[in-house]
């Protein structure tokens, strides 16, 4: 399965929206020039053993990566909580037990392992922190059926799921690896602690966006990508073998989610729509931006 660009129609929006589009494009140029992002595909192909026809290589890149990563990542990630005052030892043990249970539930080990591979191949391994919903927690949608801070925004009105990542559950924190090709920081950012904002890209079905209660200004939103069925033939790994009629499951939208440290807000937009899909207070910015980077 592949995603085909069907030719978006650019729309002019508000001054704030157009400003963020310029910031995002500048960040993409910065990554391309100084992060050498155009070379990342070649590095991945070398690691995976995709070489030009007639070349029988000794794959040093794969060998070093497979030897390096098991020596670096945590085989069994756990934390230890120590009481700082007398009489709180049992409290510390309870917190430690809960935290280690959450680490196992959210699949932190697998995410860190993938981030290490990203850092090895591209020089950067980003990860995203979140809570309750893959596309943004909003306390105004808290469910009365569940205790604590949880919502049902991962379901539509019919009770069908519109979010599909297994380790993201209502009322639970989560941490997922982000593809470096989908991750952007402001122009001139030298290290993660200096970033004024960060953005990441998600491809999402138009139908799911329309049914997501946290998204607004979506009535005129149109799909700019279409999924197509592809097959493989010798020497041509990406040959289109069939094109199905367009249906709701084949229409996709390229979403950009931006977490801004300056305003403390979160924005969701596309480069082809004239309104923000989300523009609200960012509840995930408790102490810092909800993300982190290896590398």
Per the prediction, the chain carries an average pLDDT of: 87
Q: How large a percentage of the chain has pLDDT more than 90?
A: 68
Helix (H) or strand (E) holding 129, with range, is strand 125-131
Give SS3 for 233: strand
Mean pLDDT of 35-51: 93
Which two structure tokens, joined as six digits, stand for 286?
Answer: 């408790």
Cα-based torsion angle of the residue sequence 186, 189, 194, 196 in order, rounded to the nearest 10 degrees? -10
56 band by pLDDT with thresholds 50, 70 and 90:
confident
Instruction: Sort strands 173-177 and 183-184 into parallel, antiparallel or unpaired.
Output: unpaired
Residues 6+ apart with CB under 8 A from 72: 116
12 band by pLDDT with thresholds 50, 70 and 90:
low
Give the integer Cα–Cα distance in Å for 254 and 271: 8
Residue predicted with more confidence, 109 or 13: 109
CA atoms within 13 A on the CB side of 61: 16
pLDDT at residue 233, rounded to an integer: 47
Mean pLDDT of 244-255: 74
Give SS3 for 223: coil
Give the integer Cα–Cα distance in Å for 5 and 28: 18
Give SS3 for 259: strand
Angle between helices 108-122 and 60-72 (to 10 degrees): 140
For 82-99, what is each residue's pLDDT tens digit? 999 999 999 999 999 999
**Per-residue pLDDT for 147 more than 90?**
no
Which two structure tokens, joined as six digits, stand for 282?
Answer: 């960012």
For 235-246, what is each residue's pLDDT tens digit? 454 544 444 455
Which two structure tokens, joined as six digits, stand for 172?
Answer: 């639970």
Q: Look at residues 132, 92, 126, 99 and name the one whose alpha carbon lies nearest to residue 112.
A: 126
For 190-203, what is each residue's pLDDT tens digit? 999 999 999 999 99
Mean pLDDT of 214-241: 70
């Amino acid at each position: 399965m592949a995603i085909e660009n069907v030719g978006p129609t650019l729309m002019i929006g508000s001054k704030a929206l157009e400003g963020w589009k310029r910031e995002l494009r500048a960040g993409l140029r910065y990554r391309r020039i100084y992060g050498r992002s155009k070379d990342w595909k070649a590095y991945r192909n070398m690691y995976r053993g995709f070489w030009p026809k007639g070349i029988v290589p000794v794959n040093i890149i794969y060998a070093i990566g497979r030897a390096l990563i098991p020596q670096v990542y945590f085989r069994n990630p756990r934390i230890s909580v120590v009481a700082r005052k007398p009489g709180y030892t049992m409290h510390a043990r309870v917190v430690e037990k809960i935290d280690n249970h959450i680490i196992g539930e959210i699949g932190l080990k697998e995410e860190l392992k993938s981030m290490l591979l990203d850092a090895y191949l591209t020089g950067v391994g980003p990860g995203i922190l979140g809570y309750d919903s893959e596309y943004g927690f909003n306390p105004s949608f808290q469910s009365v059926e569940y205790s604590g801070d949880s919502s049902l925004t991962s379901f539509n009105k019919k009770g069908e799921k519109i979010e599909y990542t297994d380790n993201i559950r209502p009322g639970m924190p989560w941490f997922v690896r982000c593809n470096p090709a989908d991750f952007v920081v402001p122009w001139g950012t030298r290290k993660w602690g200096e970033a004024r904002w960060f953005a990441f890209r998600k491809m999402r079905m138009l139908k799911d966006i329309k049914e997501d209660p946290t998204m607004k200004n979506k009535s005129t939103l149109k799909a700019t990508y279409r999924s197509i069925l592809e097959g493989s033939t010798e020497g041509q790994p990406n040959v289109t073998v069939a094109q199905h009629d367009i249906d709701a499951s084949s229409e996709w939208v390229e979403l950009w989610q931006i977490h801004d440290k300056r305003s403390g807000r979160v924005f969701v937009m596309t480069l082809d729509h004239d309104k923000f899909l989300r523009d609200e207070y960012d509840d995930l910015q408790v102490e810092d931006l909800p993300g982190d980077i290896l590398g």
